[in-house]
Amino acid sequence: MNHQRIMIVTGANSGMGLATTIALAKEGCKVIMVCRSRERGATAYQGALKQSGSSDIELMHGDLGSLESTRTFARAFKAKYSHLDGLINNAGVVAIKRQTTEDGFEVQLGVNHLGHFLLTRLLLDELQRAPQGRVVVVSSGAHKVGSIYWDDPFFTQGYSFWKGYAQSKLANILFTKELARRLQGTRVTVNSLHPGAVGTSLGVNRKTGFGKSILAFLGLFFLTPEEGAQTALYLATSEEVAGISGEYFYKKKIAPVSAKAQDAQQARLLWEWSEQQVGL
């Protein structure tokens, strides 16, 4: 009997997350869509079933901006499934104005890094039970201008959305590098990627719709979500990368990262700090 791969995609209700879900389902994977909004998730779920032609898609609620919700999702997953073949950490937020998660974290670092940090840690046993578990972290070229602002990581003074976003994307790569180091000698790999400039609804204000016209204009120059999802799909499923871990990919090829993203000491410090923040 063939082993059916079980994949989790976070932020699966739109953009690249939805495109990734549909593509994985078409490849015969069982896909768990993790969505924060039950309503938007339900709409996306129906669309994914229809577009993929697969009935092997499941919608589960999980909000990476809440440690409690992230833990609840992980418990619900573990109660149903004994292993996990792929975790695609795709959910991401851009916050033009400073916002915080329910745990008091600045929202970009809170969702883009800390929520995924906790989720990945909670599911490591299931990943290790798969024939070859894979963690795929959607980062960004924005990491190159990023720093970890140790004195004030949550920008309680002088918030800049760009600094916050770049910090969160640098954190994604440092997390990838440190997790890969800790998983050496196991069957689990972890890699990060830059999807390219993808036209998604990341910066659109959900309440007012502010940013939609800008998005429509920029869409002329951007990749579609389907194009943007290609590297994540490649890292989640291709035999070519089965033995590769701790790398950063762009257009399905290993790409260079900033000097800060290669700093092993910063990666360790961030790991320890993250553990304290999420209560591990």
Pairing of strands 189-194, 248-250: parallel
pLDDT given at position 127: 98
Q: Domain segments of the chain: what residues?
A: 6-198+228-278
165 assigned to active site: yes
Q: How confident is the model over 119-126, as a mean pLDDT?
A: 98
The Cα 63–Cα 50 span in angstroms is: 25
With a threshold of 0.85, does the pTM exceed it? yes
pLDDT in tens, 109-119: 999 999 999 99
Residue 99 burial class via C-beta count within 10 angstroms: exposed 0-12, middle 13-18, buried 19 and up: middle
Listed in order, strand segments (DSSP E) in the chain are: 6-10, 30-35, 57-61, 86-89, 134-138, 189-194, 248-250, 253-254
Given a cut of 90, whether residue 220 has pLDDT beyond it is no
pLDDT given at position 222: 59
Given a cut of 90, whether residue 90 has pLDDT beyond it is yes
Q: Pick the catalytic residue: 45, 165, 234, 248? A: 165
The Cα 176–Cα 182 span in angstroms is: 10
Domain 6-198+228-278 has CATH 3.40.50.720: yes
The Cα 229–Cα 27 span in angstroms is: 14
pLDDT in tens, 4-61: 899 999 999 988 999 999 999 999 999 999 999 999 999 999 999 999 999 999 999 9
